[in-house]
Amino acid sequence: MELRLPELSEKNNETILTLWHVAESERVSTGQDIVEIATDKATFDIPAPCSGTLIKKHKTEGEKVAPNGMIAEIREDGS
Amino acid sequence: MDVRDLGRITYEDALEVQLALVEKRVQGYIPDTLALAEHFPVLTLGRLAEERSIIDRVYFEERRVPVVCSNRGGKATYHSPGQLVLYPVVDLGEKKKDVAFYIDFLERTVARSLRRLGVPAERDGSRRGVWSGGRKIAFIGIALKRWVAFHGVSININNDLEAFSRILPCGESGIKVISVRQVLGHSVDMTRTKEIFTRQFVSDLQSEYSCETRSIEYHAIRGEVKKSGGGNHGVEAAGTFRKE
């Protein structure tokens, strides 16, 4: 499953990936915070949409993330 | 809605309280909550703070002012007694999932409260925060978990502003800051000030988010913050009254 930047409606602001809470190959559970992003005045923890394994990070800390941009891929349990 | 006056508290202890409130708000165990605080002197660095944000590191070292890296948005700011900090723990997921609108809302409600104190205050279309006569009087930095917002706004009321000249507030050079005391020429009563900000916040939250808040539970916190944690979010409530 693709993890993409959610719509925050944060106008005129670039979004930066500021902190990974988990490593590649690590198991994640639905709702677990896996990555933090930041705009000018706000940080936002993005939770895992499903349980599984974080198989690939598409961004590193400090990188900009485009609207709806790909952040990571998660292999769902049972897939 | 709950209102919790944390009194004078360290930044770290206030964050601990907030995180406990956020977790309970995410689970739906508590209503939206506005925590009020004053902090002991502390320099905080938001997630996007840069090294150059601290102009005079020696100034803070000599005064043993701790520097805390925070998980809030924004860059550098300074807190000290006499500054009012609002920490609303508000579920935006059930209201409006719009971060910019929420920050706009915070600016509007703080500006209205300041005007009720007699301070000319306004938003600036190109810069965040609240301003009075071209000088910054309130600073914003928030964080969200599952669309529950926390951290918030600090407002210069009676506090000394010297430390702000030793940093780049919000990472911007050339910013001049001001306090309510400077604008009015005298200090204001913090208890009355907290009540003005609280009433305005609750009223504006209802009107701008079209949500119903039937009553306010006000928890006046006095004394020390308990470090042991527990069911009261680590804070000892000394008194409670209900406002309709």
Q: Do A45 and B128 touch (CB under 8 A)?
A: no
> What does the pLDDT look like over B118-174, one tens digit per residue?
999 999 988 999 999 999 999 999 999 999 999 999 999 999 999 999 999 877 778
**CATH, domain range B2-215:** 3.30.930.10
What residues in chain B have their Cβ under 8 A from chain A's Cβ atoms? Answer: 46-48, 71-74, 97-101, 103, 128, 140-146
Mean pLDDT of A53-69: 95
Whether the pLDDT of residue A72 is over 60: the answer is: yes
Q: Which of B163, B170, B180, B205 is labelled catalytic?
A: B170
pLDDT of residue B220: 64
Q: What is the DSSP letter of A15?
A: E
Q: Please report the pLDDT score of residue B177 as a whole number.
A: 96
Would you say residue B229 has pLDDT above 50? no
Radius of gyration of chain B (CA): 17
Query: Cα(B6)–Cα(B239) distance, rounded to whole angstroms?
Result: 12
User: Which comes out higher in pLDDT, residue B125 or A24?
Assistant: A24
pLDDT recorded at residue B172: 77
Structural domain tally of chain A?
1
User: Which among B97, B143, B146 is the nearest to A43, CB-wise?
Assistant: B143
Q: A11: pLDDT confidence band, cut at 50, 70 and 90?
A: low
The CATH number covering residue A14 comes to 2.40.50.100
| Locus of tokens 């979010």 | B233
Does B11 score more than 70 pLDDT?
A: yes
Nearest to A41 among B97, B101, B128 (CB): B128
B-chain residues near A38 (CB < 8 A): 47-48, 73
* A42: nearest CB among B97, B143, B146: B143
B186–chain A nearest CA distance, Å: 31
Residue B35 has pLDDT above 90, yes or no: yes
Q: What are phi and psi of B225, to 5 degrees?
A: -80, 130
What pLDDT band is residue B181 in, cutting at 50, 70 and 90?
very high
Q: Is B170 annotated as catalytic?
A: yes
pLDDT at B173: 79
> Mean pLDDT across chain B, nearest whole number?
88
Q: What is the residue range of A60's domain?
A: 2-76
* Residue B84 confidence (pLDDT) above 90: yes
pLDDT at B244: 35
pLDDT of residue B240: 37
Among the listed ranges B51-60, B114-123, B167-176, which one has the minimum average pLDDT value?
B167-176
Q: Indicate if the pLDDT at residue B185 is higher than 90.
A: yes
Residue B214 confidence class, pLDDT cut points 50, 70, 90: low
Q: What pLDDT, on a 0 to 100 scale, did the predictor assign at position B230?
A: 35
- Across A51-55, A75-79, B166-170, B229-233, which has the greatest mean pLDDT? A51-55
